[in-house]
Amino acid sequence: VLPFLGQIMTANIIDGKKIAQETISEIKKSIAKNINDGISPPGLAVVIVGDNPASAIYVRNKRIACEEVGMKSFNHDLPEDTSEKELIELVKSLNNNSEVHGILVQLPLPDHISETKIIESIDPIKDVDGFHPYTIGRLMQRIPVLRPCTSIGVITMLDSIGIDPMGKHAVIVGASNLVGRPLALELLLRGATTTVCHKFTKNLESFVNQAEILAVAVGKIGIIPGNWIKKDAVVFDIGINRDENGKVTGDVDFKTAKEQASWISPVSGGFGPMTVAMLLKNTLIASSINMSNNKKERKISSDKWINI
C-alpha cells in the first residue's frame, strides 16, 4: 500500500505466535504419522536446577509444548545445592537413555556449577539447545546439524514473511553465546553481510542505521531508539526486560521503531513461542538424525532441518 503524503507508515507485525503454531502443527502431524508406523515418539529431557522464577516459567512452557505435540517429556527438577558432579551424572544417564532424544539443561545454572562443563557433557547428538561446541562448530563450518533455537527462530520468521537475507546488511546488537553469536552464523550462512555490535562498539547508531535486517538481543530497555532505524528495515527485538511497572518490554523502542520498519517482531508473543517450537523441531530431528562423518549424510542432516 502506498503511503499518503504526510501519513505515517507503520510496520507489519511479525506474528511469532502464529509462525510457531504452524511449526508445532507440522511436528504434531509428523509424530502422529510415525506412531502410526510403529515408530516410538521422541523424548525430551528438561532439567532445571534451583528456583529462578523466569527459568521456571520457560521450563514449564517447554514441558507443556512437548506433551502437546505427543513427545515424551522427562522432567528433572533439582535443588539449588545440587553439585556439579551430580548434574554431570544425570546428564550422562540421559545420554545413555535410548528413550531420550533431546537434553536441555536450563540456563543460568547456580554459580557453583560450570555451565561450560555441563554443556560439554551433553552428547552432541542430543544437543537440542544447540549450545555444545560441536554443534556451534558445525554451524560455523556451514555443515549444521542441530541449530540454536532462538537464532533459527529468526531465520524461520524471515522465511515466513518472505524476506531473503542474501546480500542484505544484517546488524546484530548483542554478542552472547545464546543469541547474538549463533544468529551471526545463521545470517552468514544465508548470505547476509553480517555485522555484530556489542558493549564495546563505538557509535552504535552508525551501525544500526545501516541495517536492512536488525536483530537486538541485549537486555536493556530502549537501547535502540526508533529514529536510529533505517527506513523499511526488518526488526527483531529479542530483548526481554521488565519495566518499572513489571510490564515485559523489549530492547527497541517499539512505538517509534514501527514508524520506520517495514516488519517488526512484537515484544511479547514473538520469541517465546518461536523458541519453544524450534526446540521441539530440534528434538524431532534429533530422534532421527545420524551424526555420521559421511559427507553425504551430513548434507542430509542439514537439509532435514530446512525441509522437515
Are the C-beta atoms of residues 307 and 50 closer than 8 Å to each other? no
Instruction: Give 86 or 259: the residue with its C-beta nearer to ligand GUN.
Output: 86
User: What is the Cα–Cα distance from 270 to 225, expressed in whole angstroms?
Assistant: 20
Backbone angles phi, psi at 246, to 5 degrees: 85, 5
| 149 within 8 A of 130, measured Cβ to Cβ | yes
Residue 139 and residue 2: Cα distance in Å, rounded? 40
Q: Give the integer Cα–Cα distance in Å for 150 and 135.
A: 14
- Rounded Cα distance, 148 and 281, in Å: 11
Please say which residue, 109 or 224, places its beta carbon nearer to ligand GUN. Answer: 109
Matching residue, cell 521422541:
42
Spatial distance between the Cα atoms of 200 and 113, rounded to a whole number of angstroms: 28
Catalytic residue status for 62: yes
Q: Catalytic annotation on 129?
A: yes
Active-site position among 15, 106, 237, 258: 106
Q: Please, what is the angle between helix 133-140 and helix 180-189, to 10°?
A: 30
Q: Cα–chain-centroid distance for residue 306?
A: 15
Q: Give min distance, CB of 62 to ligand GUN, in A.
A: 9
Catalytic residue list contains 106? yes
Shortest Cβ distance from residue 55 to ligand GUN (Å)? 7
Sign of the torsion formed by the C-alpha atoms of 140, 84, 103 and 301: positive
Candidates 15, 127, 129, 253; catalytic one: 129
Least separation in angstroms between CB 161 and ligand GUN: 23
List of residues contacting ligand GUN (CB under 6 A): 104-107, 129, 149, 178, 275
Min separation Cβ 51 and ligand GUN, Å:
15
Closer of 147 and 168 to ligand GUN (Cβ): 147
User: Least distance to ligand GUN from the beta carbon of 238, Å?
Assistant: 11
- Output 70 or 219, the one with its CB closest to ligand GUN: 219
Residue nearest to ligand GUN according to CB distances in the complex: 107
Please identify, using beta-carbon distances, which residue of 152 and 264 lies nearer to ligand GUN. 152
Q: Just list the catalytic residues.
A: 62, 106, 129
